[in-house]
Each structure stands twice: as C-alpha cells, then as structure tokens.
A and B are shown apart, each in its own frame.
Chain A
Amino acid sequence: MLISIFSWVVGINHGMLFEKAFLESAAILILAFFKVRLVIMHFMEVGHAPTTLKLSCEAWVFVSCIGLIIMTGGQFQA
C-alpha cells in the first residue's frame, strides 16, 4: 500500500526520485515487480507451494522485470 502511494507521488512529480529518466523508470518498475512478488508469494500462497510452481513464478517475475527495464532503458542508450 505504501509502495503504491510512493509510486503515485513519484509519477506525479517526475524527476523527484532520480534526475535521469532511465533510473526513475527502472526504480518504478523494480518497486512494481517487488509488489507483484509479494502478491504472488503471500496472497497467492506460492511461498509454500511445490518448488516447480514457485520457480515458474519467480522466473516470470525476474524475466519480465529485467526485460522491461532493459527495453525501457534502450532509448537512453541510443
């Protein structure tokens, strides 16, 4: 809940967190995927699930997060 409110404030005041847009985008996405992981592990009870399911979910979070950070950061590298 607190992370959501923090993201809300950062979203309204661009440049508040980091001056560079790439770093701000990365920070916002990492916070979002951290929240997603919390939902998966605690709300969806995957934390106590068999290893295969746990690993599948962790892999989805990790790959999606890294993929999006790289792709949203691409414009600043070019």
Chain B
Amino acid sequence: MSTYEDNIPTVKDNKAADKAQEKHMPGDEMIWLFLLGDMACFSLFFCMFAYYRLDEIELFRQSQAQLDVNIGSINTLFLLCSSWLVVMALKAARKGLAKYASFSMAGAALFGTGFVILKTIEYQHKAALDIDYLSNNFYVFYYILTGMHYFHVVIGVPLLIYYAVSLYRSKNISQTDVDNLESGALYWHMVDLLWIIIFPLVYLIP
C-alpha cells in the first residue's frame, strides 16, 4: 500500500522530468531518415572526389584554379545568412509572431535566390569557356556535387517562399504549422551544411 510520502515527487524525479522535457526532437523521424540518407550519399561523393583527386592531383589543381573562389565565398555567406534567418523565423513562429516569421522567411528565400543567381552565372561562365561535365574528371565531380546541391537549393527556395506566404496569411500559428516549419527548416539547414563542405573541398583545398 502506497503512503502519502511515496506519491510526493522527489528532487531526483523532478530532475529526470526536466531532463526529458529539455530533450526535444526537431522535426520527425521520417525527415531525419531522409536528411541523414542524403548526407550519407553526399559523403560518398566527397570521398570519391578525394579518391580520384589522389590519382590526378595536377589536373585537379589546374582545373580548380579556373573556378571563381569569390562567387563561391559569397554564396557561402548567402547560405549562412539564409539559414540564420530561418532560425529566426522558426523562433518567431513558436512565439506566435506570424508576420515577423514571414518576413524572416522571405529574407531567407531572397538569400537563397541570390545563391541560385550566382551559381547560374558561374555555370554560364564555364559554358562560355567550353567547359562541361565531360571536360575532365575534376569537372565530372564539380558538376555532380555542385549540380546535386543546386538542385536541392532550387527545391528549397520555393519551399521557403511558400512558408513566407502562408505565415503572412495566417492569423494564428498552430502546433502542426510549427512542426511543418521545423521540417522545412531542417531541410534548408542541411542544404547549407552541404555547401559548407562542398565549397572548401572543390574550390579551396590546395
């Protein structure tokens, strides 16, 4: 038979409850399965790039010298700013500040669009120099890695615009809206972190 003392939560119980509350799973299991799978695929391509680089180091260095480091660096800053604005948007949405969240999301979409424009200009420069994905092994990987990433950004920007518009129109934000927003934000952060690796690997390492 339990006594009154047994039912009083102890300090230890409270600590355990606090700890459980602190642990929050951003997004759901399915989005994480997709993100980690995508990240693992990119890792394989990174390793393949490094492996082929071992055999043709001079060719890779000469080809790397033709890339525009300035455009790549500006794009890195664009994606970092964009990711930060998505964090701000999510925080605002959790507090119910729909308009603020909407403007932050629109800013993030603007930086994402900037990335797409600069990357398109870079591809056009390469095309003008008669460089394509069959030019040499370096460019095979350059177009695979940056192309797949570009494709991710092209999917992500309309998603951010959709969130910005729906947040602007919504009068109150439900928990489901926040959950959806979390999943979209996770996807966009993954796009950012993949570029953080692609840029030094393809453009910078000597």
Least CB distance, A9 to chain B, in whole angstroms: 9
Q: Does B150 contact A (CB under 8 A)?
A: no
CA distance A45 to B181 in the complex (A): 13
Contact present for A43 and B73 (CB under 8 Å) = no
Q: Which residue on chain A has the smallest CB distance to residue B69?
A: A11
Residues of B within 8 A of A (CB): 22-26, 32, 36, 39-40, 43, 46-47, 50-51, 53-54, 57, 69-70, 73, 76-77, 80, 83-84, 86-87, 185-186, 189-190, 192-193, 196-197, 199-201, 203-206
Contacts of B54 in A (CB 8 A): 71, 74-75, 78
Q: Using a Cβ–Cβ cut-off of 8 Å, how many residues does chain A contribute to the interface with B? A: 43
**Secondary structure at chain B's binding surface: helix, strand, loop or mixed?**
helix
A25 B205 Cβ-Cβ under 8 A: yes
| Number of A-B residue pairs at CB separation under 8 A | 114
A35-B83 Cα distance, complex, nearest whole Å: 13
Chain B residues in 8 Å Cβ range of A67? 43, 46-47, 50
Chain B nearest CB from A17 CB (Å) reads 10
- Residues of A within 8 Å of B199, CB to CB, are 7, 32
Residue of B nearest to A39 (CB): B193
* A8 cross-chain contacts in B, Cβ below 8 A: 69-70, 73, 76
Q: How far is the CA of A15 from the CA of B204 in the complex (A)?
A: 12
